[in-house]
Structure 1
Amino acid sequence: MSIADVIERARAQGRRVLTEVESKQVLAEAGIPVVPARLATTAQEAAAAARELGFPVVLKVVSPDIVHKTDVGGVRLGLASAEEVAQAFQDIVDSARRHVPQARIEGVSVQPQARPGVEVILGMSKDPQFGPVLMFGLGGILVEVLKDVSFRIVPIAPRDAREMVREIKAFPVLEGYRGQPPADLEALERMLLRLSDFAQAHPEVEELDLNPVFAYPDGAVAVDARVLLG
């Protein structure tokens, strides 16, 4: 399904927020590396998707009404068998319904469990004066606590991407802190450039977050993603 098709379907359903599965679809289409995610609407579908993707897997609730999945018990990690996946599917749906009874629950996303890496965040938001603005910084919950981020107005050039990665205070972590291997900085710069291209090509996108992105010595991949339409 093309980027335009995904966006058109969401609009037809009266939604501004793409699900994680949809967000990853459009970002992958734009050349941004993501951990693949499959939508499962039953425990049997979830188990089948897990077998196809390979264990261990992660399950996350898929709902346009639930943004912070962990807060409602909507995430299960390290599932190593079809039986565990089937049980986790039911547990996630039950927990989400208890916490947010009015939520529309479409199912769960099934994705391979990514190997750990340095967590960073890439994002885009619309500024009323300057238009699309890219953000880069530490990922996970650290971005909310430390606010160690850099910004550039779209479009960016390769030099801008290089500077964005290097001007955060936590850059030594990416270089390889205390014996840890350095992250693939060029992979992060490519992601920023492709995100800039995506923002230019799709002005209907109001905001997006890739958090976390796992940076490795040999690449980088978005583990979670959220796209908001204008």
Structure 2
Amino acid sequence: MKEVVKQLIQKKGLLAENEAKDLLRAYGIPTTKYFVVSKEKDLENITIDFPVALKVCSNRILHKTDVNGVKLDIQNMNDLRIVFKDFKKRFPSEKFLVDQMVEKRVEVIVGLIQDPTFGLSIMCGIGGIFTELYKDVAFRIVPIDRYDAEQMIEEIKGKKLLEGFRNINANKKLVIDLLLRVSKMGQELEQHIDQMDLNPVFVYQNHICVVDAKLILK
């Protein structure tokens, strides 16, 4: 087990977004590039190209948008400083995440949840704003194999979005690989994970990217 994993699973409750993404990366799961800042001077050290997003980065705030803690499509350093000053005034004790903006593609959601009957389960569905609207998701008990992952996608009504519908370039095999990596992570950390929500995950032709991650430890 990697050292970063050992350190993070010592924590309890909600992880800050950078911690959740650090854990994902330790299992080979691609995420956006990000940089944690706590004071305005830290902005001088970021190595992420604009446009970027600024997010409040806290283990006390589960839904960042509910507290107006996310600003997207910041185009330059001057605008970033303006947004940072506003965030710092409203969240004086928190750190902040400068996050890479990536081009939107087909969105999927992947998650882990502790089921009282079956134990840790993995979930996959069409992500973004349609998740709650259509409830288009499939579940399996962890661990899963490649066949299980393939069947999960087959059960999703929106699977055509991953199969070239209207020339949309989204690689279904990358979603299968992601499900297998999340399953491995869940299997190894089953005694520590309460729930995890990766939404959205953007699926491209040649790569996949976790844009937002929420992870709660027991």
Judge same fold: TM > 0.5, yes or no. yes
Among residues 202, 220, 225, which one is paired with 2:189 in the alignment?
202
Distance (whole Å) between structure 1 residues aligned to residue 147 and residue 195 of structure 2: 23
Note the residue ranges of structure 2 that are not aligned, 5 or more in a row: none
Using the TM superposition, give the Cα deviation of residue 179 of structure 1 relative to its aligned residue in structure 2, in angstroms: 3.2
User: C-alpha distance in 2, partners of 1:56/1:44?
Assistant: 19
1:21 corresponding residue in structure 2: 18
- After superposing on structure 2, the runs of 4+ consecutive aligned residues of structure 1 that deviate more than 3 Å are none
Aligned pairs (5 A) from 1:27-176? 27-49=24-46, 52-95=47-90, 97=91, 105-176=93-164
* 1:223 equivalent in alignment to 2:211: yes
Pick closer, same or farther for the CA change 1:127–1:93 going to 2, 3 Å: same
Is residue 2:180 matched to residue 1:193?
yes
Q: Structure 2 CA distance, aligned partners of 1:229 and 1:177?
A: 37
Structure 1: tracts of 5 or more residues without a match = 98-103
Q: Which residue of 2 aligns with 1:6?
A: 8
Assess if the C-alpha contact under 8 Å between 1:47 and 1:83 holds in 2: no
Distance 1:147 1:105 in 2: 37
Shift of 1:105: 4.1
Paired residues, number: 215
Q: Give SS of 2:15's match.
A: coil
Give, in whole Å, the separation in 2 of the partners of 1:70 and 1:92.
Answer: 13
Please give the secondary structure, in 2, of the residue aligned with 1:53: coil
Deviation at 1:178, TM superposition (A): 2.5
The offset of 1:175, in angstroms, is: 1.6
Distance in 2 (alpha carbons) for counterparts of 1:126 and 1:33: 24
Determine what percentage of the aligned residue pairs are the same residue: 37
SS in 1 for 2:50: coil
The TM-score normalised by the length of structure 1 is 0.88
TM-score (norm 2): 0.93
Residues 14, 62 of structure 2: 8 Å contact kept: no
